[in-house]
Chain A
Amino acid sequence: MTTEHTDTTEHTDTAQKSGYKYIGKDRKRVEDPRLLVGRGGYIADLKLPGMLHAAILRSPVPHARIRSVDATEALKLPGVVAVLTGEDCKAKMNPCMNFGPATVAQYPLAVDKVRYVGEAVAAVVAESRYLAEDGVDLLEVDYEDLPPVTDPRAAMEPESALLHEEHGSNIGCERTFEFGDVNAAFAGADLVVEDTLHWGRSAGMPMETAGAVAQPGFNGVLEIYCNSLNFSYFSFLIAGALRVPSNKLTMKPVPAGGSFGSKLAAHKVPTLAGFLALRVGRPVSYVEDRIDHLVNSDHHGCDRFYEARMGFRADGTIVGLDIDVVDDYGAYMQFGVGHHGNAFSQVVGPYRFRDVRYRLRAVLTDKCQQGAYRGFGSEVHNWVLERLVDSGAARLGLAPEEIRRRNFIQPDQFPYTIPGGNVYDSGDYPAVLDKALSMIDLDRWRAEQKRLWAQEGRCIGIGLATTQERSVFSSTEFWFLVEKPVLPVTSSPESATVTIDPTGQFQLMLHCQSMWGNSPETVGATVLAEEFGIPPESVNVRYADSAHALPSTGPGGSRYTVMVAGAIRGASRKLRKKLIHIAAHTLEVAAEDLELVDARVQVKDAPETGLTLAELAGTAYFFALSLPEGMTSGLEESYTYDHPYTTLPAPDGSDFGVFYPIMGHACHIAVLEVDPDTGIPSFLDYVAVHDAGTIVNPKSLGGHVTGGATQGIGTTLYEELAYDEDGQFLSWTFRDYLIPTAGEVPPFRIGHVETPSPFTEYGVKGGGEGGRMVAPAAVSAAIDDALREYGMRVRQVPVKPSDIVAAVQAGTVRAEAG
């Protein structure tokens, strides 16, 4: 069943005819009032008695042996308490958590060598951040320079200098996967398009950086407050690094001022804060400043070089995809190659072809490590796929919408198994395309484009692109791409605890730090409201620390809304059962004759007979002798919701199994004008239609779409964590790393289509990443289209004004010469 409705950003009452009372309706967010009065409770707001502050000395060179660190002058400065280095780390801790090869070990402060500009070399702990930075200025480091390794392709050559001698090579992972028969598919193709593409390095870059405050307790327990997101999933790994028993480390959740992947783990920050606090025996705050974050975050985004081919039949049918990708991972591989697992979850996009080859080389270079950024690798794959589809369409004389329509997986083909084994749960891709086309007058824009070029020489372009939006990962994707996985885990659960207190008020406990800008509390309160018929605003939401948390994976990969809805519904069902049994016992009515409606348990055919939740709660807590025999006091239930649908990969690697089956979809159409003299693009219109299954809150989802699309525009046109060929970092400030302002992005017009998931509670799918996953393809296509007369072809992002002007000039020269 597909429900369509339009949600422009101007008016948003889009309540569907679903029968839900709260789900699917625009509601104000319960998180907002405290944020609006400036009491978000962020990490930098936290002060503990006796708290010290840390500042970090960072490497000015890309690759060097550390001969010595001299802290004599720094330690003389009044207020400086300690200076710690990689030598101290090596002596007192184990390497950091690591999902990559064990031979690529990392500590929070560089041990023996520095491997990128900005790597942390020493930490100064002082009475204030000002004094800590004074101390950093007084440190003297003696470096022995080594050859910088900056080009990932050169890094693979045998004569290249090695980043990690123990690893023996700069190749972190090399695998080739083939599904179907790619050679046969290409041999039978009428057209093969080939392209060399580069996706440059960008990052989530939230307005708040990562930070942690660590406090050693008198009882031997180390407490670490931090804004990492899925801390309850990995706190035992930080404990292992710090040589603290896992039951003596408590990670305490602190709301985050944005993440977009960048705080998924952010493990170096809490690990370092914990290490420093243990050494000095006092609370230590380490909050990154913007330079710390730009140059040394855990989560720079993908940096990939592609040789890619796609085969077509003359009618536009796609027959195969052949990709050779070199991914510049930087100096460490903390998160393995999960980025490519994500790409594989939607390797054919929304299209029906069956033959795929994917050669992956993940390479170590003298740059900051790679991690998560909204899309986590699948956004790059989608850009490549859509670039190739557009190339094919242009060569075959088909409109962008037509080639997509001819290749879409059809609504009656779901659930659909793609090459590699992942399953797409549901979808109606033609409906999403139709909706997007209905919101924009494509014929008028195409006529206008011709007219403006002919009459005024103005360059208007229209770009249309689609994307899959995989959501709700299973943990198998962390390891199935690796030949010999170290830890083949299969759990990725989420938990919720629902308490009705003695007066009938609701408390909801979430078991991870999930507030980073999304709306976990609103989602949780909405689901509870739906289950019990209570006002969502009345629910109080709390977060468990790691000492109290039930199994949880945390947000990431657009999983949280789906997973927490499942967990809350499970806990709610247990509580409802208990309430009905208490009511049955009290009213002397059979349980099956009772129902829970609007915060009241009542007789089905005689609703005037019943008990309110407050009455039932009073009984549950204070009148044990009035309870049914064998029932214990209280009204609290927890539920751990495991992944709704996942299977094991085949042992021989011939099939990855089902690992990312909840599949959204989106279509964006961008209309822009490019000034060929300055190379500056400006938007004329932008339509974004998304299908994230059943929508919990249309306005919130719309916010994620516009925010994601804005980041996608940033990735395409502005943002770059740049290194020069000597390995020097070029993006130290927000004057270099350009985040779109309100002036650079269009008023987005949003449409929603809903194909509920058959596998999740309420049919919800994830919707956090799609905006950034499709905008780069749509904007790239629009730029090409605008400069068609000059032969423009976007082959790398960010595409800068200088790139556009160069292409225009080359095109003009070609035209004049021709």
Chain B
Amino acid sequence: MTTSTAAKYGTARRTVTMHVNGRDVTREVSTRTTLADFLRDELDLVSVHLGCEHGECGCCNVLFDGHSVRSCLMLAVQGDGHAVETVESLSVDPTELHPIQESFAEEQGLQCGFCTPAMVLRTKEIIETGHEMTDAEVRHEISGILCRCTGYQNIVNAVQSAGAKLRGEAAADGAAGGRS
């Protein structure tokens, strides 16, 4: 079998090491495995949802070295040596939600929950830019992820509420004497 034929039928394999949700994982994968399928099937990170598999819906959004990527458009081998975060990095315990997740619950920024992990991760990334955003700015920032349920308004509210909460916490931490 030539290399290209091997790649085509999934027999070409490579070892990858990725820093996923704070831990190093090493796996041998088929070179044609997408990053999304690797996270879902190899690591059981089923929060990574596949809505279209052609880069339009954004439901498979993960943070790759801290920035949003569509994991359906990347190969697992491209993740070698990089850091990946899924929503499991915030909290996997439904009774102990991260403040961003809690804001989505408070504002009902979700209905079916399918785009939700992607939206939550995107929110984390937006908040980390550190500045307060207007409604229109938030809409622009989340427009790469499709939600079919909410009409977006409650998501916008959740993003802003989470931002206020986390900026407040950061400010409070600062006021309390510079805890790092």
Contacts and interface: CB of A to CB of B under 8 A. Distances in A.
A208 B97 contact: no
Given A707-B148, A747-B135, A733 B52 contact: yes
Contacts of A745: 151-152
Interface string A744-779: 010110000000000000000000000100000000
Contact of B146 (A10, A29, A256, A739): A739
Tell me whether chain A's interface is mostly helix, strand or loop, or mixed: loop
B120 A743 contact: no
A31 B113 CA distance: 9
Given A33-B94, A747-B156, A734 B54 contact: yes
Interface stretch (A37-45, A336-344, A441-449, A648-656): A37-45
Interface stretch (B12-20, B74-82, B104-112, B170-178): B104-112
A31 B109 CA distance: 12
A702 B149 CA distance: 11
Interface string B4-47: 00001110000000000000000000101100000010000111
A518 interface: yes
B71 interface: no
Interface residues of A, number: 62
B148 A32 contact: no
A750 to B, nearest CB: 9
A37 B152 contact: no
A33 B90 CA distance: 13
B111 to A, nearest CB: 4
Contacts of B47: 37-39
B116 interface: yes
A367 interface: no
B49 interface: yes
B114 A42 contact: yes
Nearest to A131: B10
Given A37-B101, A706-B151, A734-B56, A9 B49 contact: no
A13 interface: no
B50 interface: yes
B106 to A, nearest CB: 7
B10 A130 contact: yes
B15 to A, nearest CB: 19
Interface centre among B56, B90, B111, B138 (most CB of A within 10 A): B111
B126 interface: no
B167 interface: no
A34 B94 contact: yes
B53 A707 contact: no
Contacts of B105: 28-29, 32-33, 36
A205 interface: yes
A706 B140 CA distance: 18
Interface residues of B, number: 63
A709 B152 CA distance: 11
A32 B104 contact: yes
Interface string A699-737: 110111111111100000000000000000000011100
A710 B154 CA distance: 13
B49 A208 contact: yes
Contact of A206 (B45, B114, B150): B114
B94 A207 contact: no
Contacts of B148: 204-207, 258, 260, 707, 711, 739
Nearest to A517: B112
B125 interface: no
A743 B155 CA distance: 12
B112 A742 contact: no
Interface in A193-220: 204-209
Contact of A256 (B57, B104, B112): B112
Given A29-B105, A134-B9, A258-B112, A39 B94 contact: yes
A733 B10 contact: no
Contacts of A40: 112-114
B110 A32 contact: yes
A290 interface: yes
Interface string A15-40: 00000000000001101111111111
Interface centre among A258, A518, A748 (most CB of B within 10 A): A258
Interface in B93-147: 93-95, 97, 101, 104-106, 108, 110-117, 120, 135, 138-140, 142-144, 146-147
Contact of A258 (B9, B10, B111): B111
Contacts of B101: 33, 36-37
A367 B135 CA distance: 41
Nearest to B88: A38
Contacts of B144: 741
A562 B1 CA distance: 62
Interface in A323-361: none
B153 A748 contact: yes
A257 interface: yes
A236 interface: no
Interface string A37-74: 11110101100000000000000000000000000000
B9 A77 contact: yes
Contact of A707 (B45, B57, B86, B111): B111
A35 B47 CA distance: 9
3 residue pairs, one from A and one from B, having the closest CB atoms = A38-B47, A35-B113, A706-B151
5 contacts: A37-B101, A38-B92, A204-B148, A207-B59, A258-B148
Interface of B: 8-10, 30, 32-33, 40, 45-54, 56-57, 59, 86-88, 90-95, 97, 101, 104-106, 108, 110-117, 120, 135, 138-140, 142-144, 146-157
